[in-house]
Structure 1
């Protein structure tokens, strides 16, 4: 069991590392490639586009060929794309490398969640996904710091050589440590009953797709508008901005690590409702904030609400699937990436202010999710201490 958890965590961490580690070198990359920073800022969107593209096929491949081959291929693609970025001489070549990098990360991301669905029951999966969420909260803080330390002595290309090394390590783990977990690989054919009951169009699954997409939209909106909100609206300098982001990430991590303990006392439904209540409270606080301190309190509510509810909701979404966990993971990933990107783009081109963009995402997320939690219930929902063995 430990090998599956360790490999799943490693597979997931490629995704945020690929986003956050290179940001500190962006001015140097722009200068060397004779491009503006504004032009290279689309590297974030290009990376997400690569992830979404890979997710279209990675889940189905993982269900047919197995988890391990897709994980290995994804890690290899990520490593080779990192080499391409490190050797890029033009902005077009760099952006192409970022897109391919995203495809590799997308394959690994999908497989990681499918593995956790294969190997963990509902109760343990909800706890592990909460822990995984806590660990990923560390990456946006540590990755830029590590990148800064690297660039104190080495050029920006070294950032992508480090990512290359990460891809190689994940490939070795997937080859030597990870064992195939997909139950279909141990039988000549899928049984008809699981496939018949594993519908991607079921009301329950669609409700959880909507909930996770809205939650990711809320947190990515916060991350996306945070520089404008904190440095331009609230007038914090770069050092203060970095400190605030680090502290909010720490709060996210603490809440995520505390969620498994909360699941032993409270039902999943209760925690999910509390999480959405925190997001709604955050919207009210931000809308009525009269000082910087109150505004910062609202931001901590966002991080707390997301960390408390996201892992549990993802676990519920994957719960109905055994043979088709890969496809289900793909649908979730595509919806989250595309849904959040579409909202942020539409709000930006519509001229909505950064603060109103954030408040709008929080209100829509909390209200819709509360309705879905209330009217579309999970089959497994009691706290651990109330469950009857067997």
Structure 2
């Protein structure tokens, strides 16, 4: 049976309770990534290991998060969203509890991979549920809200973890993550209904799943919007990875003022996302995405030009970084909405490709910004401008003409 866009189930608005649960699903991964970071030195001492081994617990979590999306997303196109989401949330609760009780670093590494793999269900299926339920400006509005949560969570998480570390220790941080995962499971069970009815699911076993993935990856429109999203995220991650060295080592900010600057930029992407959510119903996601990419490219080019010419001052780097990050508020939610709209009959697979590509690029960007050393802003500016240019080029080259939606076979 072939399911076309016209035959897909009708889209309706999501209730507030569902949006709140989806917001938690989008926040659980960055919270689980960053909340325990302040406890790294203590963990190494208590587990009798070195810093590299503790760092591996973060690497394996990210690997589990990427691989989990690639597995769970396509499977949800066959089985529906609700069952994989509930199973993933339940396993995430168990894995988080096991992390809290890990007897050694080897066990913690394994449990962190399981936590990331299971937690991927919330990330990838949250996007798919939005795509199943709403379209167009309504979808872009919800994705903007989810991007806002995703922008705030990485900044807030280390602060929460640092506050918890003294009273409850690093194991207590994982107990808190267990409680959050339990809330995610409870909310998913009681609030989120199945968004992909049986007649709209893919059949034919794994062969059909792989065939659907090939069709998704062959959709020019999907690839254009996905690359626009992924490389705009590369701009953000280039800034996140390099800004501690650039702002503190190169421009002399204290750790306290760096935290203020970092929080101000997090506020920038939050303001941009919320403003986008208010405007998207009037202007539509594509015009706002076009404006966001143009703004992102303009400020990153100016940042790179000043860095190379030696004219970059503290006030200019802070202002240009804020404007660049603010522009992302008009890019990520709209690009995600428009990308998944191209794959209405394979939203799980489309969501998986977006999420896995995002984290794969983040893994590449992080070491790139350190190649030029700690005493120059040029590597950060170069990665940011290259990512912005690739993003806007992919958008312009691949999304010019309207492409048909992916069909289910």
Same fold, TM-score > 0.5, yes or no: yes
1:278–1:34 Cα change, 3 Å: farther
Residue of 117, 123, 130 corresponding to 2:131: 117
CA contact (8 A) 2:132 2:195 kept: yes
The residue correspondences of 1:29-178 to structure 2 (distance < 5 A) are: 29-178=43-192
State the match for 1:387 in structure 2.
none
1:342 aligns with 2:364: yes
Residue of 221, 245, 265 corresponding to 2:262: 245
State the match for 2:378 in structure 1.
356
The 1-side partners of 2:180 and 2:345 are apart by 30
Residue of 195, 200, 217 corresponding to 2:217: 200
1:224–1:322 Cα change, 3 Å: same
* Aligned alpha-carbon RMSD (Å): 2.5
Tell me by how many angstroms 1:186 deviates: 4.7
1:346–1:188 Cα change, 3 Å: closer
Q: Deviations over 1:318-338 (max 9, x none)?
A: 002222100110111111111
The 1-side partners of 2:332 and 2:295 are apart by 13
The 2-side partners of 1:188 and 1:59 are apart by 12
The 2-side partners of 1:156 and 1:52 are apart by 24
Give the TM-score normalised by structure 1: 0.88
1:75–1:367 Cα change, 3 Å: same
User: Could you list the runs of 4 or more consecutive aligned residues of structure 1 that deviate by over 4 angstroms after TM superposition?
Assistant: 186-192, 195-198, 350-354
CA contact (8 A) 1:211 1:313 kept: yes
Q: Deviations over 1:42-90 (max 9, x none)?
A: 4332221111111121012111111111111221222222122212232
The 2-side partners of 1:174 and 1:77 are apart by 14
**SS of match in other structure, 2:283:** coil
The 2-side partners of 1:368 and 1:189 are apart by 33
1:189–1:91 Cα change, 3 Å: closer
The 1-side partners of 2:107 and 2:161 are apart by 21
Give the gaps of 5 or more residues in structure 2. 1-13, 404-409
State the match for 1:386 in structure 2.
none
**SS of match in other structure, 1:323:** coil
The 2-side partners of 1:345 and 1:313 are apart by 26
The 1-side partners of 2:216 and 2:269 are apart by 33
The 2-side partners of 1:197 and 1:213 are apart by 19
Query: How many residues in Structure 1 have an aligned counterpart in Structure 2?
Result: 376
Q: Deviations over 1:136-169 (max 9, x none)?
A: 2221232222222222322221100000011111
Q: Deviations over 1:336-387 (max 9, x none)?
A: 1112312333554x5566733322232223223333333423759xxxxxxx
CA contact (8 A) 1:33 1:91 kept: yes
Residue of 400, 404, 408 corresponding to 1:377: 400
Residue of 256, 267, 272 corresponding to 1:255: 272
